[in-house]
């Protein structure tokens, strides 16, 4: 499935990336965008543009839920040009998040709060989705044509109440890095997407504030 994301006459699409296809199957200038999310989470990926130091959405029809595979989000997208950029605007962890790997959450990027479930999203179940509130920053990503663009890793942090099994009302989104990130994503792509014969390039995500305005 490929979802058009921009107005007619503008480049910009995002879709799921089946494991059995490669760039040659599409015969276009598409790119592959890869983002690791821990714990594994579905993300709502949207297209927009960077304006005055923030990210502005193109509207509610310009977004798509993507599910993780082995902890990675993999999408086939149109390459970004000029100020065009994709952004993660909601996350839905597969399980209730907590402090990951013993790390103490800092919430430097602000809080994301629980949002109502959209029945049309196909992302139901017991998990809860979270979106940015106030001045919270969001992961903004770019993609180069005919490349596997690795945006890095984001960690979904939450401080759970002692003795409570209830999912948290708020989470934090923290970008994290590891010296083995590129090796790990290379192994993942080789095993899961063997037909994608393309150079993996780092395109580190940037945390930006979101503009409320949209087209």
Strands 148-157 and 170-176: antiparallel
CB 146 within 8 A of CB 31: yes
Q: Are 13 and 3 in contact (CB under 8 A)?
A: yes
- pLDDT of 196 reads 85
pLDDT interval class at 186 (50, 70, 90): very high
Give residue limits of the domains in the chain.
2-214
Q: How many CA atoms lie within 13 A of 94 on its CB side?
A: 14
Q: Flag the least confident range among 21-25, 56-60, 82-86, 180-184.
A: 21-25
CA distance 57 to 86: 9
Rounded average pLDDT over 158-166: 71
- Mean pLDDT score across all residues of the chain: 82
Q: For the ranges 100-104, 112-116, 198-202, which has the lowest average pLDDT?
A: 100-104
Neighbours of 195 (CB within 10 A): 13
How do residues 109-129 score in pLDDT, each as one tens digit? 899 999 976 655 555 544 789
The residues, any chain, with a CB within 8 Å of residue 175's CB and separated by 6 or more, are 109, 139, 152, 153, 154, 155, 205, 207
């Amino acid at each position: 499935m490929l979802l058009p994301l921009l107005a007619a006459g503008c480049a910009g699409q995002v879709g799921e990336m089946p494991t059995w296809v490669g760039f040659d199957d599409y015969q276009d200038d598409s790119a592959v965008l890869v983002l690791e999310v821990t714990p594994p989470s579905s993300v709502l990926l949207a297209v927009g543009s960077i304006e005055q130091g923030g990210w502005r959405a193109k509207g509610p029809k310009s977004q798509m839920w993507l599910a993780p595979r082995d902890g990675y989000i993999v999408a086939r997208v149109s390459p970004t040009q000029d100020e065009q950029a994709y952004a993660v605007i909601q996350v839905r962890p597969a399980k209730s998040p907590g402090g990951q790997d013993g790390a103490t959450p800092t919430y430097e990027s602000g809080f994301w709060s629980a949002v109502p479930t959209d029945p049309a999203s196909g992302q139901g179940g017991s998990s809860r989705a979270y979106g940015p509130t106030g001045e919270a920053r969001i992961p903004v990503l770019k993609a180069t044509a005919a490349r596997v663009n690795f945006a890095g890793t984001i960690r979904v942090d939450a401080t759970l109440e002692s003795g409570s099994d209830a999912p948290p009302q708020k989470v934090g989104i923290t970008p994290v890095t590891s010296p083995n990130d590129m090796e790990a994503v290379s192994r993942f792509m080789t095993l899961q997407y063997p037909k994608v014969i393309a150079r993996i390039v780092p395109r580190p995500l940037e945390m930006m504030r979101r503009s409320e305005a949209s087209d």
